[in-house]
Structure 1
Amino acid sequence: MTETVLNPAQAGYLDRFSRGIGKIITLVLALLLAAMVVAIAWQVLARYVLNAPSMYSEEFLRFSLVWLGFIAAGYAFATRSHLNLPLLIEMLPTRGQTFMAFFNALLTLTFGVVLVYGGWSSMTSSGGMMTPMLQIPTAVLQSVVAISGVMIAATQASYILSRLRAAPAIWPILVTAILVLAVIGSGIALLWQSAWMMNAVSDNLEVVSALVLFITFLIFLLMGSPIAIGLAFAGILTLGLQLDLASAFSTVGETMFNGLDSFGFLALPFFILAGNIMNATGLARRLIDFAMLVGGRIPGSLWQANVLANMLFGTLSGSGIAAATAIGGIINPVAREKNYDMAMTTAVNAASAPTGMLIPPSGALIVYSLITGGSASIIALFMAGYMPGLIMGGAVMFVAWRYARRHGYKPEVTSVALGDAMRVFLRAAPSLLLVVIVISGILGGAFTAIEGSGIAVVYSLVLALVYGGLNLSKLFDILVQTAIVSGIILFLISCSTMMSWSMTFASIPDTVGQLLTSISENKYVILLMINVVLLVVGVFMDMSPAMLIFTPIFYPVVTALGVDPVHFGVILVYNLSLGVVTPPVGTVLFVSCSISGEKIGDVLRPFLPIFALQLAGLIVVTFIPAVTMFIPRLFGL
């Protein structure tokens, strides 16, 4: 038993080594993201000022994004930051939780080994190919897949060793987990090669593939495994129905690398970075002051200000969690001081935080555009998100107003001097101007959406320097945090490529489409069914993986029925935005409750009327396309 445990000197050395490696990786991530900001700024300058577009910067940005995604994802496994669903694990006794922790770590370690193998296979098959502009060997670029695999495997091995060091007596549980994984792996290999499975695939390829794909992913989800790992393994096993598993494993490296090799994905880290800079420099406080000025004359003024501030801040961060944290953290102490109902305050903050996922610039809408191959343009989606975002926020404001009237809340502001009002507006104007510059620039054709995200970063940096809210240490932290968050999302996208490829390979979207149209060919009935599915999915799954899984399935169905791709994109994001505040996986609701200290059970009572009205808004958005499409059509998009 003692032989499996490191002595204190060895443990201390490994701890220091791990911390040293971690510092090097974070430095690499910060420098890589900073270089990408410089490159996108140069691209905009070269194209629109010097009138000499640079193809070198575009290629550099594409491959830097791939490296950022894989390296940051590998590091995120060390901090256990990847998305998962631990609900069932938390219900288990301590011994069961330990077993599942080991089992998931072993699964993730196995995937790391698969990445190393797939990355090496893609490197060796690339021959002597070079990139067109920078003339970098393709094998060198693709090596990042293998590097990420090594990082993932190493972090899981380190986690297992640290658990054994902390509690040596649990080593039999680890052995059990290893044996169970070996038995399951062997069973899958034998079953996949059996005559019975081959005949089933030959006779019913689409049905068997769909069952394997979704049952495998569901099992991974219920086990609490990282969602990205579940997506990748589900795709690999489904692909293994038509290829031998060794061949399926060898395709992982190239498929995942190509899944991120898209210039369009650059908008994600850049918009996240711009929002993080704005948040870190204290600009949220200015937005709340402005929101208070606008909503201060309405009963329940703090609640109205909370909604407006979340809508304004959401346009900068594009994150419901960021908005709920930044705005809720400022509103809650004031609300408690003024004796506001804190359960209602928490419900208002949680329900209004996701509005920024619809009101542009929205990362979710960017991801949808990229999944659809640009069929729905980013700027058209941006313009289409305004009205649904206002409907979602307006529903919260209406319920808060009714509640305030019924319980005798008075307006916080009765009159404001013109000079004071102008002062508040001018303080908030630079933050608000960011959205105006980006949207008007894209809409007017001055720059692309991707270049607009770079301009947002540069503008937010300039603003932070002007206000003096940024130093090198804080900037380094912001760069690292942005890289990690971006890496988690990008790795999800990369892993979902395996699932999307296997779905296409097995014609699963066509099969689902035929199933839905066999029930009804009325597009509104189909949309209603899709809404129900997405609402249920949103309760259990975070927005990013849900979009990556269900967009390729439902998109061909609805567009074949004549639904505009832009309209469907907004329906999809609206649905999943509701999911981030609904338990049991409502991350935004949990964050809001943790900030206010309120129990979820107490918050649900005032939250339900808000949710019901937001749900009514979803019905309006779904069945009255003009609500969504009015502004895009007004601008000829």
Structure 2
Amino acid sequence: MKRLARVLLAIDSALEAFSLLALLSMIIIVTVQVITRKLFNFVFFWSEEITLLLLIWFSFMGIAIGFREKLHMGMDSFTNLFPSPFNRVLDKVIYASIFLFGLYLIYYGWDFTKMMNESELAATGLPNSITYVIMPVTGLMTSVYSLLQFLGIETKRHQGLDEGEGEGSTNMDTTTAIIILCVSFVLLVLLRFPISLTLAGSSIITLLYLKIPLAAIGQTMVQGMNSFTLLTIPFFILAGQIMGQGKMALRMVNLAQLLVGSVRGGLAMVNSVACMFFGNISGSAVADVSSIGSVMIPMMKKKGYDTDYAVGVTVSSSIQGVVVPPSHNLVLYSLAAGGGISISSLFLAGIVPGILLCVTLMITSYVIAVKRGYQKGEPVLRKEIPGIIRDGVLSMMAAVIILGGIFTGWFTATESGAIACLYAFILTFFVYRDIPLSRIWLILQRTFRTVAMVLFLIAASASFGWVLAYLQVPGMMTDWMLGISDNPIIILLIINVLLLLLGAPMDMAPLILIMTPILLPVVTSLGMDPVHFGIIMMLNTGIGLLTPPVGTVIFVGCSLGNITIDQGTKAMMPFFYAMCVILMVLTYVPGLVMWLPNLFAK
């Protein structure tokens, strides 16, 4: 048994190392491609094909390692109402289901591999089967991990890293299939199944009823990964991780302190501005609250601010990270919408709403500061100003590189992510030397853990979206909502309320991936621009990160401030109401969102 354990550990370590090296290789290939194209007008014909192949392998390995580390998200608020014996039995059922999903990947993955062995990739001439052979490998590792977990053997290794053609269907068949899809999805979610597995599982159950070959799920999962734009997500996340591990958050805080720190309740405003600045680097609300919160909450407490207020300001301000560019959630939205929405337009559309949101939060914090009697902040010493500006500008250059490169056409969003990783690496490890170079492997592991969750969600949502399209659910939803009212004001209000309500029990990424293909046809039929709706979707789902029971951001903030969820939620509510007002303004005044995209489109 010990020998078997050592063999599994060796294989497991090798596969994880391969995944991290694949991430590095993708960044290097894309960066070199940009340099050779711009400086020498030369393009490697094989670069995109190899990069996409590495991405597919990287993504599928993330599925297996995500199950090993129990990373794939599920909703436990319902099952927590039941006693422990029920949840222990449910754990066994989930592990058994994961085991069956692994067998599915083995069977159909090997079938695809044999079927594609006769064809070749266009650029490299490699057999097309190399794209699919990762599926049975992933299935094998997934089955092994789930079997060990079923037997009560711990599989987590990184405890410290967390901070085909089918028959035509009749109308009755379609209606029944939609009911099966929805009921199985809701049931699996309530029973704490990982959301990604729920999306794939409910799709498989529905195809079984429709008698459509189950190979369609595997094919759409691979197709969902086969997108060069998808590389943007791991690149942006890695750049944010590198800069977040250093002292970038402190430099952002110092710059914000210089700009707004001397007014009454200034530290709260510093918090909001610093979160907006850091959001331009990380593109993530959780990264914002983790990095800025670890600096600002203790600082505000030391200066006499109430702890609950410090937490409320921090968690609310961190939501700017999902709206201001370069938010990787905007990339998710573009992919969920079918990839036809320009990422650069989405990034441009997020600038004015991000600034408006920041100003609104600053005004709200000022009103509360006056009411609570908080004093003015201390002015920055004149001799410190040049250093603060220099450090702030160098830190902000990552965002300038990303946005400037995209908007000027120098490189694509994907290429800008790779260049940003290179810049963050040089700045953190060689210019400031915040952390030793030996920690780069740890940063890659943390990035892989985050990306593993997101990419499996994208793959699973691709299969779920295919089933929705097959059943014509988006069209039915459009007809149903327009049957309620043909008034755009009413329909958009219903959509906003629906997204806010769904944001409480569901996390941001799955909500974007599930609801975008359903709601986008509705709003476009009303004449709303898809770019405009993307920002509305971001703000809605971002606000959902603040609301229990799955309010990731509020949980992190309360943990940093060492207060209860009730205290944090109560302190956050004034900012919550202010953000809802901004949400309504942005919904019904499209010019605020579309001004910059339309300006650059001319």
TM class by smaller structure: over 0.9
Per-residue CA shift, 1:132-165, capped at 9, x if unaligned?
1122211122011111111211111111223599
- Tell whether the 8 Å contact from 2:554 to 2:569 is kept in structure 1 after alignment: no
Between the two proteins, the alignment pairs up a number of residues equal to 590
In 1, Cα distance between equivalents of 2:203 and 2:595 = 39
Q: 2:118 maps to which residue?
A: 128
Seen in structure 2, the aligned counterparts of structure 1 residues 415 and 367 have a Cα distance that, compared at 3 Å, is closer
Letter of the structure 2 residue corresponding to residue 424 of structure 1:
I
- Tell whether the 8 Å contact from 1:236 to 1:502 is kept in structure 2 after alignment: no
In 1, Cα distance between equivalents of 2:498 and 2:86 = 31
Q: 1:410 maps to which residue?
A: 375
- Tell whether the 8 Å contact from 2:16 to 2:61 is kept in structure 1 after alignment: no
Tell me whether 1:54 sits opposite 2:19 in the alignment. no
CA apart distance, 1:258:
1.1
User: Which residue of 272, 293, 303 corresponds with 1:328?
Assistant: 293
In 2, Cα distance between equivalents of 1:509 and 1:387 = 30
- Tell whether the 8 Å contact from 2:258 to 2:379 is kept in structure 1 after alignment: no
State the identity as a percent. Answer: 32
In 2, Cα distance between equivalents of 1:15 and 1:405 = 62
In 2, Cα distance between equivalents of 1:152 and 1:252 = 17
Letter of the structure 2 residue corresponding to residue 447 of structure 1:
F
User: Which residue of 1, 22, 30 corresponds with 1:32?
Assistant: 22
Q: 1:251 maps to which residue?
A: 216
In 2, Cα distance between equivalents of 1:470 and 1:56 = 35
In 1, Cα distance between equivalents of 2:107 and 2:480 = 38
Letter of the structure 1 residue corresponding to residue 148 of structure 2:
S
CA apart distance, 1:415:
5.9
In 2, Cα distance between equivalents of 1:539 and 1:276 = 26
Per-residue CA shift, 1:463-497, capped at 9, x if unaligned?
12222234443111111221221121111100111
CA apart distance, 1:599:
0.7
- Which of 522-531 and 465-474 deviates more? 465-474
Per-residue CA shift, 1:564-586, capped at 9, x if unaligned?
11001111111100001111110
- Tell whether the 8 Å contact from 1:260 to 1:493 is kept in structure 2 after alignment: yes
SS state at 1:487 partner:
helix
- Tell whether the 8 Å contact from 1:29 to 1:479 is kept in structure 2 after alignment: no
Q: 1:4 maps to which residue?
A: none
- Tell whether the 8 Å contact from 1:118 to 1:251 is kept in structure 2 after alignment: no
- Tell whether the 8 Å contact from 2:272 to 2:362 is kept in structure 1 after alignment: yes
Letter of the structure 2 residue corresponding to residue 153 of structure 1:
S
Matches within 5 A, 1:283-432: 283-414=248-379, 416-417=381-382, 419-432=383-396
- Tell whether the 8 Å contact from 1:275 to 1:317 is kept in structure 2 after alignment: yes
Q: 2:481 maps to which residue?
A: 516
Seen in structure 2, the aligned counterparts of structure 1 residues 31 and 242 have a Cα distance that, compared at 3 Å, is same
CA apart distance, 1:315:
1.5
TM-score (norm 2): 0.95
Q: 1:238 maps to which residue?
A: 206
- Tell whether the 8 Å contact from 1:354 to 1:578 is kept in structure 2 after alignment: yes
In 2, Cα distance between equivalents of 1:594 and 1:382 = 31
CA apart distance, 1:205:
3.9
Letter of the structure 2 residue corresponding to residue 25 of structure 1:
L
Q: 1:451 maps to which residue?
A: 415
Q: 2:450 maps to which residue?
A: 485
Matches within 5 A, 1:167-316: 202-244=170-212, 247-248=213-214, 250-316=215-281
- Tell whether the 8 Å contact from 2:258 to 2:380 is kept in structure 1 after alignment: no
User: Which residue of 134, 140, 165 corresponds with 1:144?
Assistant: 134
CA apart distance, 1:547:
1.0
SS state at 1:87 partner:
coil
Q: 2:159 maps to which residue?
A: none
- Tell whether the 8 Å contact from 2:74 to 2:192 is kept in structure 1 after alignment: yes
Q: CA RMSD in A?
A: 1.9
In 2, Cα distance between equivalents of 1:375 and 1:385 = 18
User: Which residue of 554, 566, 573 corresponds with 2:531?
Assistant: 566
Letter of the structure 2 residue corresponding to residue 453 of structure 1:
G
In 2, Cα distance between equivalents of 1:206 and 1:561 = 26
Q: 2:63 maps to which residue?
A: 73
Q: 1:102 maps to which residue?
A: 92
CA apart distance, 1:55:
2.5
Unaligned runs of 5+ in 1: 1-9, 166-197
Seen in structure 2, the aligned counterparts of structure 1 residues 514 and 316 have a Cα distance that, compared at 3 Å, is same
CA apart distance, 1:14:
5.1
CA apart distance, 1:609:
1.2
Seen in structure 2, the aligned counterparts of structure 1 residues 336 and 17 have a Cα distance that, compared at 3 Å, is farther
Letter of the structure 1 residue corresponding to residue 350 of structure 2:
G
- Tell whether the 8 Å contact from 1:388 to 1:574 is kept in structure 2 after alignment: no
Letter of the structure 2 residue corresponding to residue 423 of structure 1:
G
Letter of the structure 2 residue corresponding to residue 213 of structure 1:
L
Per-residue CA shift, 1:46-100, capped at 9, x if unaligned?
2111101222111111111111111022111111011111112222212111111
Tell me whether 1:617 sits opposite 2:585 in the alignment. no
Letter of the structure 1 residue corresponding to residue 407 of structure 2:
L
Q: 1:526 maps to which residue?
A: 491
In 2, Cα distance between equivalents of 1:325 and 1:414 = 26
In 2, Cα distance between equivalents of 1:381 and 1:26 = 33
Letter of the structure 1 residue corresponding to residue 59 of structure 2:
G
SS state at 2:308 partner:
helix
Q: 1:596 maps to which residue?
A: 561
Letter of the structure 1 residue corresponding to residue 405 of structure 2:
G
In 2, Cα distance between equivalents of 1:284 and 1:220 = 39
Letter of the structure 2 residue corresponding to residue 605 of structure 1:
K
CA apart distance, 1:210:
2.3
Letter of the structure 1 residue corresponding to residue 333 of structure 2:
Y
Letter of the structure 2 residue corresponding to residue 215 of structure 1:
V
Letter of the structure 2 residue corresponding to residue 580 of structure 1:
L
Matches within 5 A, 1:3-18: 10=1, 12-13=2-3, 15-18=5-8
In 2, Cα distance between equivalents of 1:323 and 1:203 = 48
CA apart distance, 1:291:
1.3
SS state at 1:570 partner:
helix
Q: 1:116 maps to which residue?
A: 106
In 2, Cα distance between equivalents of 1:205 and 1:304 = 57
- Tell whether the 8 Å contact from 1:128 to 1:138 is kept in structure 2 after alignment: yes
Letter of the structure 1 residue corresponding to residue 254 of structure 2:
D
- Tell whether the 8 Å contact from 1:350 to 1:589 is kept in structure 2 after alignment: yes
SS state at 1:494 partner:
helix
Q: 1:87 maps to which residue?
A: 77
Seen in structure 2, the aligned counterparts of structure 1 residues 15 and 86 have a Cα distance that, compared at 3 Å, is farther
In 2, Cα distance between equivalents of 1:23 and 1:303 = 45
- Rg: which structure is higher? 1
In 2, Cα distance between equivalents of 1:498 and 1:95 = 34
In 2, Cα distance between equivalents of 1:391 and 1:533 = 23
CA apart distance, 1:337:
1.9
In 2, Cα distance between equivalents of 1:240 and 1:387 = 47
